[in-house]
Protein backbone atom coordinates (compact mmCIF):
# COMPACT_ATOMS: atom_id res chain seq x y z
CA UNK A 1 0.00 0.00 0.00
CA UNK A 2 1.61 3.23 -1.16
CA UNK A 3 2.17 6.18 1.08
CA UNK A 4 -0.06 9.05 -0.05
CA UNK A 5 1.45 11.73 2.17
CA UNK A 6 3.09 12.45 5.49
CA UNK A 7 1.16 14.84 7.75
CA UNK A 8 3.18 17.31 9.83
CA UNK A 9 1.77 19.57 12.56
CA UNK A 10 3.23 23.07 12.44
CA UNK A 11 2.63 26.29 14.37
CA UNK A 12 3.30 28.45 11.27
CA UNK A 13 2.31 27.03 7.91
CA UNK A 14 3.96 29.72 5.74
CA UNK A 15 7.28 29.33 7.51
CA UNK A 16 7.17 25.53 7.30
CA UNK A 17 6.20 25.65 3.61
CA UNK A 18 9.29 27.75 2.90
CA UNK A 19 11.50 25.12 4.48
CA UNK A 20 10.07 22.36 2.27
CA UNK A 21 10.22 24.60 -0.82
CA UNK A 22 13.95 24.87 -0.18
CA UNK A 23 14.04 21.05 -0.44
CA UNK A 24 12.40 21.20 -3.87
CA UNK A 25 8.76 20.77 -2.81
CA UNK A 26 6.04 22.75 -4.59
CA UNK A 27 2.80 23.90 -3.07
CA UNK A 28 0.02 22.05 -4.94
CA UNK A 29 -2.99 22.84 -2.72
CA UNK A 30 -3.89 25.00 0.24
CA UNK A 31 -7.20 25.00 2.09
CA UNK A 32 -8.82 26.07 5.34
CA UNK A 33 -10.94 23.25 6.78
CA UNK A 34 -13.04 24.82 9.56
CA UNK A 35 -14.74 21.54 10.56
CA UNK A 36 -11.31 19.96 11.12
CA UNK A 37 -9.89 23.12 12.64
CA UNK A 38 -6.88 23.32 10.35
CA UNK A 39 -5.23 25.39 7.69
CA UNK A 40 -3.69 22.73 5.45
CA UNK A 41 -1.18 22.83 2.63
CA UNK A 42 -0.02 19.99 0.39
CA UNK A 43 3.49 20.10 -1.01
CA UNK A 44 4.84 17.71 -3.59
CA UNK A 45 8.17 16.62 -5.03
CA UNK A 46 7.95 13.79 -7.56
CA UNK A 47 5.70 11.12 -6.02
CA UNK A 48 6.27 12.39 -2.45
CA UNK A 49 3.79 14.61 -0.66
CA UNK A 50 3.94 16.41 2.66
CA UNK A 51 0.79 17.80 4.25
CA UNK A 52 1.35 20.72 6.60
CA UNK A 53 -1.30 21.27 9.28
CA UNK A 54 -1.56 24.53 11.17
CA UNK A 55 -4.32 24.59 13.80
CA UNK A 56 -7.02 27.28 13.60
CA UNK A 57 -7.05 27.47 17.40
CA UNK A 58 -5.76 25.80 20.59
CA UNK A 59 -8.98 23.77 21.10
CA UNK A 60 -8.73 21.98 17.74
CA UNK A 61 -7.34 18.45 17.36
CA UNK A 62 -4.06 19.70 15.88
CA UNK A 63 -3.96 22.58 18.39
CA UNK A 64 -4.10 20.08 21.26
CA UNK A 65 -1.51 17.91 19.51
CA UNK A 66 0.91 20.89 19.29
CA UNK A 67 0.28 21.77 22.91
CA UNK A 68 0.93 18.22 24.11
CA UNK A 69 3.69 17.03 21.79
CA UNK A 70 5.02 20.08 19.98
CA UNK A 71 5.50 20.43 16.22
CA UNK A 72 6.36 17.31 14.25
CA UNK A 73 5.11 14.17 12.56
CA UNK A 74 1.32 13.97 12.94
CA UNK A 75 0.18 11.09 10.72
CA UNK A 76 0.97 8.78 7.82
CA UNK A 77 -1.56 8.57 5.00
CA UNK A 78 -1.95 5.55 2.72
CA UNK A 79 -3.63 5.57 -0.68
CA UNK A 80 -6.45 3.09 -1.23
CA UNK A 81 -8.52 2.66 -4.40
CA UNK A 82 -11.73 1.96 -2.48
CA UNK A 83 -12.08 3.42 1.00
CA UNK A 84 -15.35 1.69 1.92
CA UNK A 85 -13.86 -1.75 1.15
CA UNK A 86 -10.65 -0.76 2.94
CA UNK A 87 -12.59 0.16 6.10
CA UNK A 88 -14.43 -3.18 5.98
CA UNK A 89 -11.09 -5.02 5.73
CA UNK A 90 -9.65 -3.03 8.63
CA UNK A 91 -12.73 -3.70 10.79
CA UNK A 92 -12.47 -7.43 10.02
CA UNK A 93 -8.81 -7.31 11.09
CA UNK A 94 -9.79 -5.68 14.37
CA UNK A 95 -8.20 -2.31 13.60
CA UNK A 96 -9.63 0.45 15.79
CA UNK A 97 -11.12 3.15 13.58
CA UNK A 98 -11.60 6.81 14.42
CA UNK A 99 -13.84 7.27 11.37
CA UNK A 100 -16.36 4.46 10.86
CA UNK A 101 -17.27 5.93 7.48
CA UNK A 102 -15.38 7.96 4.87
CA UNK A 103 -15.54 11.72 5.24
CA UNK A 104 -14.45 14.60 3.06
CA UNK A 105 -10.88 15.65 3.71
CA UNK A 106 -8.30 17.98 2.25
CA UNK A 107 -8.53 18.50 -1.51
CA UNK A 108 -12.02 16.97 -1.68
CA UNK A 109 -10.58 13.49 -1.05
CA UNK A 110 -12.54 10.85 0.87
CA UNK A 111 -10.52 10.00 3.97
CA UNK A 112 -10.77 8.01 7.21
CA UNK A 113 -8.46 7.80 10.21
CA UNK A 114 -7.45 4.73 12.21
CA UNK A 115 -6.47 4.94 15.86
CA UNK A 116 -2.75 5.18 16.76
CA UNK A 117 -3.28 2.28 19.22
CA UNK A 118 -3.65 -0.02 16.20
CA UNK A 119 -0.43 1.19 14.55
CA UNK A 120 2.16 1.35 17.30
CA UNK A 121 1.41 4.93 18.28
CA UNK A 122 1.16 6.31 14.75
CA UNK A 123 -2.04 8.01 13.61
CA UNK A 124 -2.90 6.50 10.21
CA UNK A 125 -5.08 8.05 7.53
CA UNK A 126 -6.49 6.26 4.50
CA UNK A 127 -7.11 8.37 1.41
CA UNK A 128 -9.22 7.21 -1.51
CA UNK A 129 -7.17 7.66 -4.65
CA UNK A 130 -8.91 5.97 -7.60
CA UNK A 131 -6.40 4.11 -9.79
Which chain residues interact with Zn ion by CB under 5 A?
Answer: 7, 51, 77, 125
Instruction: Kindly state the smallest distance separating residue 125's Cβ from Zn ion, in Å.
Output: 5
Instruction: Kindly state the smallest distance separating residue 75's Cβ from Zn ion, in Å.
Output: 6
Nearer to Zn ion, 125 or 128 (CB): 125
Instruction: Kindly state the smallest distance separating residue 88's Cβ from Zn ion, in Å.
Output: 21
Residue at shortest CB range from Zn ion = 7
Contact assessment for residue 123 and residue 68, using Cβ atoms and an 8 Å cutoff: no
Contact assessment for residue 55 and residue 68, using Cβ atoms and an 8 Å cutoff: no
Contact assessment for residue 46 and residue 24, using Cβ atoms and an 8 Å cutoff: no
Instruction: Kindly state the smallest distance separating residue 89's Cβ from Zn ion, in Å.
Output: 20
Measure Cα distances from 83 to 79, 101, 111, 118 in Å. Answer: 9, 9, 7, 18
Could you give the angle at the alpha carbon of 104 between the alpha carbons of 98 and 108, nearest 5°?
145
Nearer to Zn ion, 35 or 92 (CB): 35
- Which residues pair with residue 71 across a beta bridge? none
Amino acid sequence: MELHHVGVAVPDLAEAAERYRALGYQLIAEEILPEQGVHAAMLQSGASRIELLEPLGPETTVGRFLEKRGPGLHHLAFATPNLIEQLERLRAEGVRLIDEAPRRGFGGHWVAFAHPKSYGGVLVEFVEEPQ
